[in-house]
Amino acid sequence: MKRWECFLVILVIAVSQVLAADTNDTPDFTQTFQAQCAALAQAAESKGTMTVPGRDGWLFLASELRHLGVGPFWGESAAKVSRAIKPDQADPLPAIADFHDQLTAMGVELLVVPVPPKAIIYPDGLLDKVPCDPTGRLARLDVALQAFYGQLRIKGIHVLDLTPVFMKNRSNPEGALFCQQDSHWSGAGCVLAATEIGRQLSATFNDRPKQAFTGQWDTVEISGDLWQALGDPKPPREQVRIRRVSRAGQLGAVEPPANSPVILLGDSHGLVFHGGDDMLAKDAGLSDQLALELGFPVDLVAVRGSGATPARINLLRRAQKDPNYWAGKKWVVWCFAAREFTESDGWRKVPIKP
């Protein structure tokens, strides 16, 4: 990154911090919110449950609240707060930077897309009192995440921070952007994320022929993972809206080919509403929505576990099986839950070619 670009990034971060400091009671509440998240996570884990009940039917993932409760999680702070098995793999910054550098050397762009924590978009679903800015909008409370994204950008890494657009659209006509009873985003959240990712990538593929995809909204009843972890009696199952994507009028036709110029890498946020069974539905996940946005299928490399190290190991295995795997690749979209920065088993440096 050029010197003036570094200066611009630092200036943007400084301005955002000043603006945040000008928000009514936000700095004090941010610390309170962090402490409340930590306490709720600790209480849930002491009971042996992953589910933290909120308000008005909202359920939250204990490990995600723990992540929001630890504060800074990179550099010297990493080993103190991370759940990585090995202390030298606690800091996500070196592994992400190494992955970026490997891709850059091959002429491939990296877009890091952390999925915002549900409690940041819907803090009023967790707590009775939440702060608002002078315009009456909910204040943004993920101070540590914002600072970390700034660190990534200083290193020249493209980060798509979905939090501002998610907060702006949290009252979506097709429903909330996160499932109330599941730890993943909703069908509406998938669509909004794909729209924003598509905007980042579209200029690269302006001249690429587009295939015809269509989307049709549907309502499905889900058995969310947080709902399943509740004791009995359970509330009624949640119904969510999803947009099923088809090609040439055939549902299920959006099958991501290995020769796609775009790789969608990550955790189960790339599988939910796409993989079926415990992934809740088919044909309506992030990869399906990206096919609709871009006009061609993407190469899906997602895992049900951690999107940190295991996902990149799967990517390496693809290249080991096919020596020409990286031919024609233009972008890697790395999408995973933001909680992975502290809640994964660790952030190893993984080669992307045999």
Q: Is the pTM of this model over 0.85?
A: yes
Model confidence over 317-338: pLDDT tens digits? 999 999 999 999 999 999 999 9
Mean pLDDT of 118-133: 92
Residue 92 has pLDDT above 50, yes or no: yes
Q: Using 50, 70 and 90 to split pLDDT, how confident is the model at 126? A: very high
Q: Which residue has the tokens 């939910």?
A: 272
Burial profile 130-154: b = 16 or more Cβ within 10 angstroms, e = fewer: bbeeeeeebbbbbbbbbbbbbbbbe
Map residue 301 onto helix, strand or coil: strand
Mean pLDDT of 68-88: 97
Distance, CA of 113 to CA of 98 (rounded, Å): 17
| CA-wise closest residue to 189 among 208, 210, 206, 175 | 175
CB 226 within 8 A of CB 118: no
**Domains of the chain: which residue ranges?**
3-343
For residue 253, what pLDDT is reported? 45
